[in-house]
Amino acid sequence: MKQTKYHLVILLFFAVFYSSYGQNKEPYALKKNQFRVGLGAGYLQTLDLQVSPKSYHGVRKNLQLEYLRKKDKGIFTSNLNVFFGNLTPTSGTSLTFYAKETDIYGAEKDESMTLEIAPLGFNLEIGYLHKLQTLATVRTEFYLGGSLEENLTFTPGFLPIGLINYASLNAKARFDYQLNNGKPLIFQLSLPLVSAVTRFPYHNSPNIPGKSGLGAFFTGNNDIETINHFQNIRFSVRYNWLVTKRIAFDIAYEGSWLHYYKPQHLTQAGSQLSLGLTF
Amino acid sequence: MVGEIIKDTPEKNFQSMWDKFDSHYGLFLVKEIDWNAVYASHLPLAKVAKTEEELFNVLTSALSILHDQHVNIYTTNSKLADYNSGHNGNIPAQETFLFKVVQDNYLIEYHEVNEDFGYGKLTEDIGYIHASSYNDNLSVFKKAMDKAMNALASTEKIVFDIRDHSGGSDNVSKYIAGRFAKSKKLFMTSKKRNGPGHNDFEGMMKWYVEPEGESQYTKPVILLTTSHSISAAETFTFAMRENDNVTHMGETTAGAFSDVIAYQLPNGWLCTIGVGDYRGSDGKSYEGIGIAPHIYSKNLKADVLAGVDKTLEKAIQM
């Protein structure tokens, strides 16, 4: 019975991909429209002085959806990345807290509460990379461009570590290098030029008459920042380790470093691996 | 990789706590507290503290001066457990109210919407609403109030019981009070810290109670409180008392109104800090004082243990 289920899944998998080949018969590398689905897991370290002087770390998992349109002069890209994870203190402090309670009958009870710090959010990015023809060689392509990006990281609960929203205009660079085996290695670098950054206000407790928590968060707490004050640098390298004419599997690494100074310093460093399928 | 971490020593823990209160606590001026004097008197004690227990004693001694039920320490040590500044120790048991007594001995019907909210009837003509917190989303309470208002529309009066209400959202307080309002009235102002000076506050916000929802219940309402009715229960009391049809009965409320944030110390313990200065519509602060009822009534522990709720009986007879 189990085997039958697996066979059905495999059949469905091939049916989906072969139906997409039928619509686009160009080889993978030349395809104008490319879709990528990726799954990633990474290590993230966070220090949010607005909430705690302690640094936190944990694994963040994500689902990546990407659409890429190649043209002679450049590449249009759009990405949606949905992520979630857990944070625990880097040093061995417990997140279990205790309280003594007494009821009306005089019975004392030791209550304990274990905090779960579980940030979740999304990242949406739309960009254009222009091909620098003069720098292109048989093996290399070089692109420069920019992107518009929206990112929300929400940490529900008592300790909202790492909570931030930003909308950025990024500068981006991409370098494609074709290896001897004919497979491309893709390097990318991104950094924000101007960003609208939203954090909790100084008092860390947005609460406005008649407004929801989300509405209060976005009211009066938005600051336009340049890279002097908001840094979010990301570097990635992607290797397509299995390329057929029509699909490619890839493995990608991304390193990131984010820092914002208001109302108190938030610093994050991340390192992530992901696997993707492009078709 | 992400910056320097403050060392976990008794002195650094005291310094970290003192700094956070200094930069964020909203009631130094209202309570006329000399926080620098607290630093001067407690830093030497923190420097010589050797054990967690000694540190706990230094921190709690410093916070006892604030006498604020919103100020707590939660430790990761099960023996030390927690501390509440307003009670200068653990929060004592509530001895003048037990919802089970109402449920078992007075209600002829009761519908629990969720663990924090329910409604029913004390007699065919007297409705009853019980709320023990406003911690959920406003939309949850809108639906709950719609149900309660529909079910109790034909009653002659409603007893609204918040005697074990532990707080929550002020916007829920505003909304629910609006279900009993005939007109728009100011019920509260709030302002919160926005800088390191004790007098650094953002602009004052005005909170109005006004008719909310599809229908409003404008027949008599009796609001019951105790000294355990705290925070959003008290902002709700502010709002309800602006409605002409509401009589406030029971005990004086806890006297802790402000929004609270949590901050973690280098040793992992949590402290909670009230960051605002909340006032009644008369401009007065009731922090540490509480809201005195129109009609004072306090149950005896012996009565409650015997299944009798005399305050509720008075409310029924009114």
**CA atoms lying within 13 Å on the CB side of residue B223:** 29
d(CA B158, CA B122): 9
> 3-class SS at A215?
helix
What pLDDT, on the 0 to 100 scale, is given for residue A13? 42
CB contact under 8 A, A98 and B5: no
The answer to whether A99 and A42 are in contact (CB under 8 A) is no
d(CA B307, CA B299): 11
Q: What angle do CA A85, A89, A90 make, to 5 degrees?
A: 100
Beta bridge partners of B296: B250
Residues A92-116 have pLDDT tens digits of: 778 999 999 898 988 988 899 999 9
What pLDDT, on the 0 to 100 scale, is given for residue B4? 61
Contact B89/A at CB under 8 A: no
Name the closest residue on chain A to residue B277, using Cα atoms: A203
The residues near B86 (Cβ < 8 Å, ≥ 6 apart) are B67, B68, B69, B70, B71, B254, B255, B256, B288
Structure tokens at A4: 């039958």
Tell the CATH topology of A29-278. Answer: Lipocalin (2.40.128)
What pLDDT, on the 0 to 100 scale, is given for residue A167? 98
Q: Given B2, B76, B301, which is nearest A55 (Cβ)?
A: B2
d(CA B226, CA B162): 8
Q: Torsion-angle region of residue A180: left (phi > 0), alpha (psi -120 to 50) or beta?
A: alpha
Name the closest residue on chain A to residue B79, using Cα atoms: A98
CB contact under 8 A, B16 and A112: no
The pair phi, psi for residue B28, each rounded to 5°, is -60, -40
Annotate chain B with three-state secondary structure.
CCCCCCCCCHHHHHHHHHHHHHHHCCCCCCCCCCHHHHHHHHHHHHHHCCCHHHHHHHHHHHHHCCCCCCCEEECCCCCCCEEECCCCECCCCCCCCCHHHHHHHCCCEEEEEECCEEEEECCCCEEEEEECCECCCHHHHHHHHHHHHHHHCCCCEEEEECCCCCCECHHHHHHHHHCCCCCCEEEEEEEEECCCCCCCECCCEEEEECCCCCCCCCCCEEEEECCCCCCHHHHHHHHHHCCCCEEEEECCCCCCCCCEEEEECCCCCEEEEECEEEEECCCCCCCCCCCCCCEECCCCHHHHHCCCCHHHHHHHHC
The answer to whether A157 and A116 are in contact (CB under 8 A) is yes
What pLDDT, on the 0 to 100 scale, is given for residue B96? 97
Residues B153-168 have pLDDT tens digits of: 999 999 999 999 999 9
Contacts of residue B76 in chain A, CB cutoff 8 Å? 93-98
pTM of the complete model: 0.90
Contact B194/A at CB under 8 A: yes
b/e B257-288 (16+ beta carbons within 10 angstroms → b)? bbbbbbbbbbbbbbbbbbbbbbbbbeeebbbb
The residues near A231 (Cβ < 8 Å, ≥ 6 apart) are A191, A192, A257, A258, A259, A260
Interaxial angle between packed helices B35-48 and B52-64, expressed in degrees from 0 to 180 and rounded to the nearest 10: 170
- Percent of chain A, pLDDT > 70? 89
d(CA A181, CA A162): 42
Question: Over its length of 279 residues, how does chain A's per-residue pLDDT go in tens digits?
Answer: 444 454 544 444 444 444 444 344 455 565 788 899 999 999 999 999 999 999 999 999 999 999 999 888 999 999 999 999 999 999 877 899 999 989 898 898 889 999 999 999 999 999 999 999 888 888 899 999 999 999 999 999 889 999 999 999 999 999 999 888 888 899 999 999 999 999 999 999 999 999 988 899 999 899 999 999 999 999 999 998 777 777 889 999 999 999 999 999 999 999 999 999 988
Flag whether pLDDT at B24 surpasses 90.
yes
> 3-class SS at A30?
helix
What pLDDT, on the 0 to 100 scale, is given for residue A12? 42
Locus of tokens 């029509």: A246
What pLDDT, on the 0 to 100 scale, is given for residue B50? 95
Domain ranges of chain A: 29-278
Q: What angle do CA A10, A13, A17 make, to 5 degrees?
A: 140
Instruction: Say how many C-beta atoms besides its own lie within 10 A of residue A29's C-beta.
Output: 16
- What is the average pLDDT across B85-112? 96
Residues B261-316 have pLDDT tens digits of: 999 999 999 999 999 999 999 999 999 999 999 999 999 999 999 999 999 999 99
Contacts of residue A202 in chain B, CB cutoff 8 Å? 24, 192-195, 202
d(CA A173, CA A183): 20
The amino acid at A48: D
> Which among A57, A97, A103 is the top mutation candidate for probing chain B, defined by the most B β-carbons within 10 Å of its own β-carbon?
A97
The residues near B154 (Cβ < 8 Å, ≥ 6 apart) are none
A235 Cα to chain B: minimum distance (Å): 16
Q: Given A54, A100, A209, which is nearest B207 (Cβ)?
A: A209
The answer to whether A200 and A216 are in contact (CB under 8 A) is no
B261 Cα to chain A: minimum distance (Å): 7
CB contact under 8 A, A202 and B195: yes
Scanning B211-270 for CB atoms below 8 A from A yields 259-270
Beta bridge partners of A102: A108
Mean pLDDT computed over every residue of chain B: 96
Strand B221-225, strand B205-209: pairing: unpaired
What pLDDT, on the 0 to 100 scale, is given for residue A180? 86
> Which among A102, A117, A207 is the top mutation candidate for probing chain B, defined by the most B β-carbons within 10 Å of its own β-carbon?
A207
d(CA A24, CA B283): 71
Contact A22/B at CB under 8 A: no
d(CA A166, CA A232): 10
The answer to whether A173 and A143 are in contact (CB under 8 A) is yes
Report DSSP state, residue A267: E
The residues near A164 (Cβ < 8 Å, ≥ 6 apart) are A151, A152, A153, A197, A198, A199, A260, A266
Strand B295-296, strand B246-250: pairing: parallel
- Percent of chain B, pLDDT > 90? 97
Residues A130-162 have pLDDT tens digits of: 999 888 888 899 999 999 999 999 999 889 999
Residues B184-235 have pLDDT tens digits of: 999 999 999 999 999 999 999 999 999 999 999 999 999 999 999 999 999 9
